[in-house]
Amino acid sequence: MWKFLHKFSSPKYFYSFSGRLIPWFGWFCLAFMLAGLIGGLFLAPMDYQQKDSYRIIFIHVPAAWMSMMIYMIMAIAGGIGLVWRIKLAEVIAASSAPIGASFTFLALVTGSLWGKPMWGAWWVWDARLTSELILLFLYLGVIALYSAIEDKRIAARATAVLALVGVVNIPIIHYSVEWWNTLHQGQTIAKFGAPSIHISMLIPLLLMAVAFKLYYALTLLMRARCEVLERERNSSWVQALVNNNLKT
């Protein structure tokens, strides 16, 4: 396994291997996305309190999950790059930031769309909403810092430190509804005992969660491949790749 990980961390091998994975992630993402949307928007029953407005959870909840998961991946990859100087870990961290920021923005927007009919306001300074907004600022800070430093190895180390410091916000987001008196509803799935959501609503929600994860993997590989080519543009294997493409 360690031999495979060492081989996979090679930019040349990663570029070749990831290119074969991208179509698979794309097709599976499309299949799960269609199944989740059809199940959530058409097959799931209407909620007896929130009516059809609850259906935004099939976008909002997976996006919120992804916003936290991607930040943890970014921070872990940044930490690995910071300690062991692995180029691919730095690439993964840098490529994850814009995707995570997009999911965080989507979670905030869809939350506001749901909050208007439920709370009567587009935004309230609720603990969960505020900590999620801070997460967006952390993502934007990582993106801005990485773009501001010309040397990408130095930029990767600087952003890794920022990302690791920001990890403290993740448990705050997760437990905010338990630690403070918040308007945001509590856990309905990730809790002890049976989820307090009907199976007809739970299945589409989980399908969308898988689809979002596949979408992250797909876009991450595509962005990482571009980042690898940018960093390794002067290496012999990239020059050979360019020459072969020019010939064909």
Residue 211 lies in a domain: yes
Q: Which residues pair with 51 in a beta bridge?
A: 47
Q: Which residues pair with 245 in a beta bridge?
A: none
The predicted-structure confidence for 37-61, as pLDDT tens digits, reads as follows 999 999 999 988 788 889 999 999 9
Residue 26 lies in a domain: no
> What was the pLDDT predicted at 220?
98
Number of folded domains in the chain? 1
Distance CA 57, CA 186 (A): 13
pTM (predicted TM-score):
0.93
Residue 8 lies in a domain: no
Residue 28 lies in a domain: no
Residue 49 lies in a domain: no
Question: What residues in the chain have per-residue pLDDT under 50?
Answer: 192
> What was the pLDDT predicted at 8?
67
Residue 41 lies in a domain: no
Residue 37 lies in a domain: no
Residue 168 lies in a domain: yes
Domain of 121, in residue numbers: 56-233
